[in-house]
Amino acid sequence: MLIKKLLQLTFFLFISISLVAQTKKITGKVISTDNTALPGVSVSLKGTKNKVVTNTDGNFSIVLNEKSTKDTLIFFSIGYVSIELGLQNQNNLLVTLKPSISDLDEVVVVGYGTQRKRDLTGAISKVDISDLQKAPVRSFDEALGGRVAGVQVTSSDGQPGAAVSIVIRGNNSITQDNSPLYVVDGFPIENGNNNSINPADIESIEILKDASATAIYGARAANGVILITTKKGVVGKAKFNFTSSYGKQDVINKVSVLSPYEFVRYHSELNPTGTASTYFTNGKTLNDYIGLEGVNWQDAVLQSAPILNNSLSMSGGNDATRYYVSLSGFGQEGVIKFSGYDRYQGRIRLDQVVNSKFKIGLNVNYTALKSFGTISSGLDNSSSQTSNLMFDVWGYRPITNNQNFNVNSEDELFAGDPNDSRFNPYEKIKYELRNRFSNTIYSNLSLEYKLQKDLILKSTIGYTHDVNRDENFNNSNTPGGSPTTVSGRANGVNGSIIYQTTNSYVSENTLNYTKRINKNNIDIVTGFTMQGVDKFSFGSAAAKLPNEGLGLSGLDEGTPTKVTSTRTKNTLASALARINYSYDGKYLASVSYRADGSSKFSPENKWSYFPSASVAWRFSQEKFMKDVAFVNDGKLRFSHGLVGNNRVSDFAYLTTMYSPITISYPFNGTLNSSTVPYTLGNPNLRWETTTQSDAGLDVSFFNSRVTLGIDVYKKITKDLLLYADMPTSSGFASAFKNIGSVENKGLEITLGAKVVNRTNFTWNTSFNISFNSNKIVSLNDNQEALLTTINWDNQWRSSPAYIAKVGQPIGQFYGYIWDGLYQTSDFTQTPSGNYVLKTNIASNTTTASNKIQPGFIKYKDLNGDLVMNDNDKTIIGNATPKFVGGFTNNFRFKQLDLNFFIQYSYGGQLLNANRLVFEGNSGRLFQNQLSSVLNRYTIANPNNEMYVAGGDGDKVYSSRVIEDGSYARLKTVQVGYTLSNKYLKRLQIQSLRFYASAQNLITITNYTGYDPEVSVYNSALTPGFDYSVYPRAKTVTLGLNLNF
């Protein structure tokens, strides 16, 4: 009826306008970004009183004076950002108004849906994506650290593509993975590669922290959930965005090693005969080495490395079709020569409204990744500390007695010492082929059908296909294949290729029901999902390749050494439901429930159930708050729920037999396949369950210029999926059990402020801090403590570096307490001048007591029995920081903008194992040392710090090498200038922005290694270990951003 009337009215208007010859008529429609018509929008002609209002369908029509050609229309509506539109001969406009986002109206993506921030009852943090995108990095996780309270991000080292570990609210699991579940556009991924997402494609990142927010993801949610939503097209004119940046990366700092003179001098004290016969020939003396330059091996392998990023996107759409297309290319060389990372990526996203009931969406992303270069750290097992790259770089001697010595010469060989694999580091990085390719296609098809007005059925099918290819090749110039090394002689030129394919698919079907009855708002989502992961790997290695020039294609000519072939799969089926209820926007409640069935457990234990509930009270809506004017909004939240963790191998419940070639037994000299019981299955294996409670307060003050968020939480994880030690008398070393318990408690504070908010000048700031304390409540049966070794070297294989003890945090350092050095007062001097250790002084466990001399390293004899052994070992440090956080500032002055971001971490300690090897550890011939040995003990310089040359120190872990890892870092800085003027408009360019960005610009720390953000053997049990890391880079880039 109304419509009819309006039509008549329009008809009438149309007639009347056509009657007036001097005027022209502009018609159009105003919609919101979610493509719905906006009624009641005022449309006015700038500078006049000419004004109309859109009708219920969002349509308007305004009559203008024919003569005016430079007319501008102003569109205004409460809750939306006003826009001004210059008219250029159009007469049918489609105008999109963006909702003006007050923080509270901001839409937040939650599990299986979205919510307004004001309606949230759980602890969900939205990452400020525009700030994050200012960091000149390859992937979002490199820039995430410090941005969100409660989220701790650690990258193992500075190698391009190095593993980044994200831990939300502390480690729950002792032996199993603690990384969160990633949900990319609704697709849950347990072990995704974050490098495959172009950060510029990301629309939003939400981090779900408490049980109320995560329990909808049930069995995989205990470690928190990170929701990533990619950009989609918006209705309107086609938009074209091109961003290009180029920059340089340089190491943050170098490690100082001995100069040629210092080196020769050190070794002449340590090994007088050997040094004399090598360095003091032809009449040369120590003084002849003063001022000689030698080779600085760090300079030889490090470089100022380029980083280049180009990214292009096009988006747009109309009522029915919206699209977003992007292409990007990223190239990064590493600060160590011949290493780097490349990414090529493309995405197509299409959203189509088929009819009033039916919508369809398609999202396809393809990424090709390549990382290359010698891996610098974290070599596992059976390896020697000397096969790590930095051992060569720091340990290679700076000078020989050969005048023509240079970085390319293969001058130095240590074949005599089976424990020394030193190799010319420049040759090593140049010739070692270490390529890792990853090609990932990700696709997602979603169908949405409006069954009834309030009832929407959504069905999503997703599929990812990921192929990894690892290529290794050791030619005759590499330590692995050179005829001058032990392993090279044994294996000859060798190489391997291994393919690993992961197929993952998901089908999710949800029903959404929303209803508003008076002041009651109800929102129900139910659904069921099925997901499966199929993995297989295949590859082979061959040695003694006759034609090294063929490279890896000559693998078929060699002797096959190893064939890899694995295949495994797991499936998950789930049902879920959530009800959100609110009354008058004041009282909010949410209940969710998920049932998960996993193939990883035996038939009796497949299913598990994860309920959660939360309530919130927006006390600011109450009458008594009306008088408290400075509080604009205030909300109290409480939540409680159960979440699970299923990170075990796919068939952990089965006992398996195994026949590897390496245990085959030769009968009569002929190898014979051997089969042994290999893993002990546990048919009773179940989910690990975390109970989490959270209380939160969100307040905004002073016209919403200041916002404060505080959360406290407590998590108790029970029935840990513990890869528990078994008594080896059982025939097995370990097995999965549901045993033990861990507790995490914490506090998170986030403070934001719009300090200045003028037209020409704005300043926004945001600060966050989080505290987490972690405690083992109980461990395996009978077990008081769990000791963990780091396999960085064979000789350290039986010295545990970490202890996990009941009542204490998970990953603490373990060893002796360093007690300085033996001083002459600890000895009696014999008439011949020899020092003999007094009988009431304990030896140092690494040296026979009759060999100990003044200046040797000393440890504390805790129990006073004069014998240094396991009983004197204790907890010597804790790698977990006391608090971490970040501080962001955004300034805008006219067209100039500045962003800087400081990340900090306080109270965590690091084990600097480099010092165990490079501070006078004297075992190896002519190994260069860190400059700290310059202050070594001599009778003339009797200090208590650095032991004497040949002091035979540091063969055990001690508090000497535990260092404070606290730091504050100016992590990201960006300065930009935006051009948007008539000259550009004439070129059809909407805006052009130039910017300069920097990452890791300044770091303040007392840590003596390359960088305090380090953890090369990272796990909950073994955090903060530093040995031979790839140095971290600071990056400075220049870029431009062009919008058409």
Residues from 422 through 451 that contact other proteins (CB under 8 A): 451
Q: Where are the alpha helices (DSSP H) in 389-531?
A: 389-395, 425-431, 486-491
| Using rule CB under 8 A, residue 798 touches other proteins | yes
* Out of 71, 210, 420, 725, the residue judged to bind other proteins by CB under 8 A: 725
Residue 880 near residue 1023, CB atoms below 8 Å: yes
Strand order in the sheet with 83-86: 51-53, 42-45, 72-76, 83-86
Interface segment toward other proteins; rule CB under 8 A; list 116-124, 283-291, 553-561, 610-618? 553-561
| Using rule CB under 8 A, residue 832 touches other proteins | no
Which amino acid, 221? A
Position 273 contacts other proteins (CB under 8 A): no
Dihedral sign, Cα of residue 140, residue 141, residue 142, residue 143: positive
Binding other proteins (rule: CB under 8 A), the pick from 83, 530, 625, 934 is 530
Taking the complex as a whole, how short is the minimal distance between the CB of residue 315 and other proteins, in angstroms? 35
Please state, as a whole number, how many other Cβ atoms lie within 10 Å of the Cβ of residue 332. Answer: 25
Q: How many other CB atoms are there within 10 angstroms of residue 993's CB atom?
A: 17
Name which of 549 and 666 has its Cβ closer to other proteins: 666
724 binds other proteins per the rule CB under 8 A: yes
Site string for other proteins, 403-422 (x = CB under 8 A): ----------x-xx-x----
- Residue 64-103 contact track with other proteins, rule CB under 8 A, x = bound: ----------------------------------------
Q: Could you tell me which residues come within 8 angstroms of residue 1039 by beta carbon, excluding any fewer than 6 positions away?
A: 136, 243, 244, 245, 246, 247, 309, 994, 995, 996, 997
CB atoms inside a 10 Å sphere around CB 323: 18
Residue 446 and residue 459: Cα distance in Å, rounded?
Answer: 6
Helices (H) and strands (E) in the chain, counts: 12, 55
Report d(CA 809, CA 776) in Å as an integer.
6
As beta bridge partners, residue 753 has 706, 765
Under the criterion CB under 8 A, does residue 175 sit at the interface with other proteins?
A: no
Of residues 118-137, those binding other proteins (CB under 8 A):
none
356 binds other proteins (CB under 8 A): no
Whose Cβ is closer to other proteins: residue 44's or residue 487's? 487
Among 155, 363, 472, 598, binds other proteins (CB under 8 A): 598
User: Least distance to other proteins from the beta carbon of 870, Å?
Assistant: 5
Q: With binding defined as CB under 8 A, does residue 570 bind other proteins?
A: yes
User: Could you tell me the smallest distance in angstroms from the CB atom of residue 34 to other proteins?
Assistant: 24
- For residue 567, the minimal CB distance to other proteins (Å) is 5
Backbone angles phi, psi at 809, to 5 degrees: -65, 165
Minimum Å distance from CB 267 to other proteins?
17
Residues 6+ apart with CB under 8 A from 143: 132, 135, 137, 199, 971, 972, 999
Q: Which three-class secondary structure string do you get for 841-897?
A: CCCCCCCCHHHCCCCCEEECCCCCCCCCCHHHCEEEEECCCCEEEEEEEEEEECCEE
Map the footprint of other proteins across residues 639-668, applying CB under 8 A.
650-651, 654-659, 661-668
Q: Which of residues 669-688 bind other proteins (CB under 8 A)?
A: 669, 671-677, 680-682, 684
Using CB under 8 A, which of the segments 82-90, 256-264, 346-354, 840-848 binds other proteins? Answer: 840-848
Shortest distance in whole angstroms from residue 940 CB to other proteins: 25
Q: Report the amino acid identity of residue 223.
A: N
836 part of the interface to other proteins, by CB under 8 A: no
- Sole binder of other proteins in the list 286, 490, 896, 939 (CB under 8 A): 490
Query: From the CB of 589, what's the least distance to other proteins, in Å?
Result: 20
- Minimum CB–partner distance for residue 738 and other proteins (Å): 9
What residues have CB less than 8 Å from 483, skipping those under 6 apart?
476, 489
CB 394 within 8 A of CB 930: yes
Q: Which of the stretches 3-11, 582-590, 620-628, 847-855 binds other proteins when contact is defined by CB under 8 A?
A: 847-855
- Name 23's bridge partners: 65
Contact 75, 100 (CB under 8 A): no
Return the number of the residue (505 or 763) whose C-beta is nearest other proteins.
Answer: 505
One of 46, 51, 357, 569 touching other proteins (CB under 8 A): 569
> Roughly what angle, to the nearest 10 degrees, separates helices 260-270 and 272-279?
140
Taking Cα atoms as reference points, which of 158, 171, 369, 348 lies closest to residue 254?
A: 158
Residues 6 or more apart whose CB falls under 8 angstroms from that of 647 comprise 173, 176, 177, 190, 721
For other proteins, which is the closer residue by CB, 624 or 667?
A: 667
> Which residue, 291 or 669, has its beta carbon nearer to other proteins?
669
**Distance in Å, CB of 686 to other proteins, minimum:** 12
Which CA distances in Å does 3 have to 6, 32, 56, 95, 314?
Answer: 5, 21, 9, 22, 37
Residues 729-788 that bind other proteins (CB under 8 A): 729-733, 735-737, 780-785
Candidate ranges 64-72, 489-497, 881-889, 930-938; the one touching other proteins (CB under 8 A)? 489-497
Nearer to other proteins, 313 or 599 (CB): 599
* Spatial CA neighbour of 1033 closest among 1010, 1015, 1004: 1010
Tell whether residue 603 is a contact of other proteins (CB under 8 A). yes
x/- string (CB under 8 A) for other proteins, residues 449-488? Answer: --xx-xx-x-------------------------x--xx-
Q: Are 215 and 181 in contact (CB under 8 A)?
A: no
The nearer residue to other proteins, 47 or 807, going by C-beta atoms, is 807
Choose, by CB under 8 A, the member of 15, 19, 21, 848 that binds other proteins: 848
CA-to-CA dists, residue 704 to 334, 565, 620, 629, 899, angstroms = 44, 59, 13, 11, 21
List the one residue from 543, 821, 962, 1021 that touches other proteins (CB under 8 A): 543
Minimum CB–partner distance for residue 522 and other proteins (Å): 12
Query: Could you say which of 46, 51, 489, 838 contacts other proteins (CB under 8 A)?
Result: 489
Minimum gap (Å) between residue 796 Cβ and other proteins: 11
Contacts to other proteins from residues 294-353, by CB under 8 A = none
Binder of other proteins out of 575, 579, 712, 751 (CB under 8 A): 575
d(CA 466, CA 369): 11
Instruction: List Cα–Cα distances, 37 to 4, 28, 40, 54, 97, in angstroms.
Output: 18, 11, 10, 9, 10
**Contact (CB, 8 A) for 163 and 1017:** no
Which residue lies nearer to other proteins by CB, 851 or 894?
851
Near other proteins by CB under 8 A: residue from 46, 562, 894, 985 = 562
Give whichever of 130 and 728 is closer to other proteins, judged by the CB atom.
Answer: 728
Nearer to other proteins, 25 or 544 (CB): 544
What's the half-sphere exposure (Cβ side, CA atoms, 13 Å) at 47? 7
Q: Which part of the chain contacts other proteins (CB under 8 A), choosing from 537-545, 582-590, 634-642, 809-817?
A: 537-545
Site string for other proteins, 857-896 (x = CB under 8 A): ------------xx--------------------------
By CB under 8 A, residue 850 contacts other proteins: yes
Position 831 contacts other proteins (CB under 8 A) = no
Give the angle subtended at the CA of 500 by the CAs of 472 and 459, to the nearest 5°.
150
* Residue carrying structure tokens 């058409």: 1044
**Which CB atom, from 705 or from 860, has the smaller least distance to other proteins?**
860
Nearer to other proteins, 106 or 412 (CB): 412
Give the count of beta carbons closer than 10 Å to the beta carbon of residue 296: 16
